[in-house]
Amino acid sequence: MPEFSSALSDPETSQGGKPNVHYTVGASAVKIEVDKQTGKMRIPKAVLAIDVGRALNPNLIKGQITGGLLQGIATVLYEDMRFSDKGKLLNASFSDYKIPTALDIPDEIVSIIIETPQPDGPSGARGMGEHTMIPAAPMIANAVEDALGIRIKSMPLTAEKIALAMIKENVK
């Protein structure tokens, strides 16, 4: 862990000094299937490994890893806020704003807990809930590029965007 991340500048109050003790690392991967006729994507398997410091409640942590990864996947593939020219939200209801259902999530999610105790964390633990969303966008965009040779640079990565990019790049 980077030394500059400690919040224990004043041992009496545990205040001041550095802004954050929750830097952590992880690794992720995703397997995708893309229908080259429609651009529709399916995710058979997603894997996320994250260093949690000390795993105080491993079952809860695995749930956090799964939940955060699914939230990230939802952001990358489905969620799209649309506004009028005057700034009014156009898709403010769930009938207009796409979110994934149980049918849209990966068939298999593998949550891997890595433990490197945080010296100044509570019982060696480290915050990790927010970190589980972060890899979704790059790993899915990289998987699309690896599979099709096209790079989509805006979210959500919809079937329409993928299909149009395949036409533009003449992907067969």
Active-site annotation holds for 3: no
Q: Nearest-CA neighbor of 137 among 60, 73, 89, 92? A: 73
| Separation in Å, CA 150 to CA 82, 138, 143, 147 | 25, 13, 10, 8
Among the listed residues 3, 12, 108, 130, the single catalytic one is 130
Q: Which residues are catalytic?
A: 130
